[in-house]
Amino acid sequence: MKGRYANLNRIRTLDPERDYLDIYQTMLRYEFPWDMKLGLNLAFNRSFSIPAIAAVHTTTGELTDRTQKRIDDTGLLMYEMVLNGFEQPRGRDALRRVNQIHRPYDIGNDDFRYVLGCLVVIPTRWLQEYGWRPPCCHERQATYLFYRELGRLMGITDIPGSYEEFELWFTAHDAAHLQPNDDAAAIERATRMLMLTRIPRPFGPLGNALVSAMYDAPLRQAMRVDAPPWPVRAGLHVALKLRSRSQRWFGAPRTTALFADGIKAKSYPDGYEINQVGPQHDRVHE
Average pLDDT over residues 183-195: 93
Report the range of poorest mean pLDDT among 19-33, 193-207, 244-258.
193-207
φ/ψ of 50, rounded to 5, equals -65, 135
Indicate the angle between helix axes 137-153 and 163-177, nearest 10 degrees. Answer: 70
φ/ψ of 260, rounded to 5, equals -60, -30
What tens digit of pLDDT does each residue of 118-137 get? 999 999 999 999 999 999 99
Average pLDDT over residues 76-95: 98
Q: For residue 23, is pLDDT > 80? A: yes
Average pLDDT over residues 183-203: 88
Average pLDDT over residues 38-67: 95
Q: For residue 282, is pLDDT > 60? A: no
Query: Helix, strand, or coil here: 117?
Result: helix
Q: For residue 114, what pLDDT is reported?
A: 98
What's the pLDDT band for 82 if we cut at 50, 70, 90? Answer: very high
What's the pLDDT band for 272 if we cut at 50, 70, 90? Answer: very high
Indicate the angle between helix axes 109-130 and 163-177, nearest 10 degrees. Answer: 110
Q: For residue 207, is pLDDT > 50? A: yes
Q: For residue 2, is pLDDT > 70? A: no
Instruction: Please answer whether residues 78 and 28 qualify as being in contact, where contact means their C-beta atoms are separated by less than 8 angstroms.
Output: no
Identify the CA nearest to 109 among candidates 46, 75, 152: 152
Long-range CB contact pairs, 28-34, < 8 A, 24+: 28/82, 28/258, 29/83, 29/254, 29/257, 29/258, 29/259, 30/253, 30/254, 30/257, 30/258, 31/7, 31/254, 32/127, 32/131, 32/132, 33/254, 33/258
Average pLDDT over residues 174-201: 92
CA distance 119 to 44: 7
Instruction: Please answer whether residues 255 and 76 qualify as being in contact, where contact means their C-beta atoms are separated by less than 8 angstroms.
Output: no
Instruction: Please answer whether residues 180 and 222 qualify as being in contact, where contact means their C-beta atoms are separated by less than 8 angstroms.
Output: yes
CA distance 60 to 187: 12
